[in-house]
Structure formats: C-alpha cells, structure tokens
Amino acid sequence: MYFIGITGGVGTGKSEVMHILEEREDTRVLLADEVAHLLMQKGQPCYKQIIKEFPDPQLLAEDGEFDRIQMAQWLFRDENGRTRINQIVHPAVKEYVLHQVETEREKGKLNFFFFEAALLIEEQYDAICDELWYIDTDDTIRRSRLKASRGYSDEKISQIFASQKSREEFSAVCKEIITNNGTTDELKNQIYNVLRRKIHE
C-alpha cells in the first residue's frame, strides 16, 4: 500500500483531486483539516489542552464545542496563539494519520492511502510518506476560483500566493506533479494513469 501525501497552493483544486480519489474502492483518503476538526472536538486531547491554555469562553459555542468562526478570527489576529495551537494540533494530526495508515496496512486491502494538507512539506511529511504529489494549476485559474468560491480580492490573493511555496519549491520535493488546468474528466484520467503505473511498478 502506498502512503501518498497531496499538497499544493490555495486554489489548485486539492479537494477536487481528493474527491476523485475517494471514489476508488482500493483507496482511502484523509484531509488534514477534517482530522484537526475531529481532534479538537469536546473530550478529545487537543480540546482539553487548548482549553487549558486558552480558557476564553468566546471561543466556544453554546454546546461547548469550539466555534469555528470565532476560532478562525482569533487565530488570524493572534500569531502567538496560532503558533501554539499548531504546536498542539499538528503533532496529534500526524500521530492519528500514522495510526490510520498502519491499521490499513495491517488489513492489507488497499493499494493507496492519500493524505491532503497544505503544509505537508513544512510538517516534514516527506519523511513519513512513500511519496508526495503536487497539484499544479495556472495562477490565472487559481485567481478565478478564489474570487468565485471565497470572494477574495486580487490584493488578498496576491498576498496568499506570496506567503506560500513556489512551484519550484513544491516540485523539488514532490515525486508526481498533477496538472489541474482542464476539466474534471481530464484530471481524473491523469490521476488514474499515474495510479495504474504505481500498481504495476
């Protein structure tokens, strides 16, 4: 079973790639954001640690769970808080993912296990994944997607692009480059061709 990390800049269509992959019976997918949300739910270790260090009632909804909007706004404002939350959550996410990978390897029923995260390289997943894939999309297409889906301005998009790794930095670490400039069918065919090659390697 291949353990493969999926990464790429904002607006490249990583979610679209994961949707295509999860349709396959021989594949399991996990998303970093979903795992982090799970581990920050009430009663989970990350929840307890964050509440202990940041006992701010404004971060909580009426049911005691974290208010995701309030949390996002706070993390955007408070760099120290964001750093500390990441120090708590990121190692827990990695531990959870590795446990899931080992469980699937023991079952022996899958060919592929994919994990998607924006900060895959920064969190050194290249050291634990069998390989990384980079989703590459023309910047003009990325801009159009971000304007349509999130309502971002050109200025905000440019700031985000500048803060993320370049194509060259991604390509230097990632074994496969998936180009997402066309239709969903074209993307699916490209992915499936790579997977067929992997199965026969």
- Asked if 113 and 27 count as a contact pair (C-beta separation under 8 A), the reply is yes
11 is known to lie in a ligand binding site: yes
Give the Å distances, CA to CA, from 42 to 63, 65, 72, 139.
9, 6, 17, 39
Which tokens is 84 given?
């500390």
Q: Are 4 and 133 in contact (CB under 8 A)?
A: yes
Does 16 count as an annotated binding residue? Answer: yes
Determine whether the annotation assigns residue 109 to a binding site: no
Q: Would you tell me the crossing angle of helices 139-150 and 154-163 to the nearest 10 degrees?
A: 120
- Residues making up the binding site for ATP: 11-16
Binding-site residues sit at 11-16
